[in-house]
Structure 1
Amino acid sequence: MPMPVLICLSTCPDAASAERIATVLVEERLAACVNILPCLRSVYRWQGEVEAADEALLLIKTSAEAYHALQARLIALHPHELPELLAVEPATGLPAYLEWVAGQTRPLD
């Protein structure tokens, strides 16, 4: 049975920071793949005020084993004071894909 896979969601304030974070996470084997969805509009409450911002959404595929290191790295890389990071475990998936994600997020020996 494949290792549990997580899909993590995080927004970035612009395409440049999204690309930089995505690249580092994959290079450091904290994510197998990161999709960048541009042109997202977020409306949220921050410090008592309702705000809106154009952002890019990262869909980060990782293993449960790599999640805590990914979380720490995302916090270090992200330009926001409080970055969004939500992780969900898919109910199912193509077994070969799940194995690929697990394999790509294992440290190299």
Structure 2
Amino acid sequence: MVNTFNFTNWSRLNWDEIIDKRIIIDIKDVTNLNYINTAEHFLVIWNEYNFPVIESSLSKIIESFDDVIAVGFDTWIVNFEIGIIIENYHEGEITIGKKKY
């Protein structure tokens, strides 16, 4: 993941390199974005390196979001092929964006 997206020294995504960045209140708000297809599969990556990475459709991740984010301190939901990443920061902020190519 760090080869595709740059991170800050405090392990937060460097959002300066992401286009169409948005802070959302509720994970369900991603369905309002025109570049998001919730049928697409995304990887769920937690901040703990020894936790497994899981893959599921974004719609299933959204349905189980509270359980998904309960696993780790910070959570990233990413689709590398289309360059979309969602960061759930441990302070409660959810940010979504598309990588510049």
On whether the aligned pair clears a TM of 0.5, the verdict is no
Structure number with larger C-alpha Rg? 1
> Which of the pair has the greater relative contact order for Cα pairs under 8 Å at 6+ separation?
1
Which structure has greater helix proportion?
1
User: So what's the TM-score if we normalise by structure 2?
Assistant: 0.31
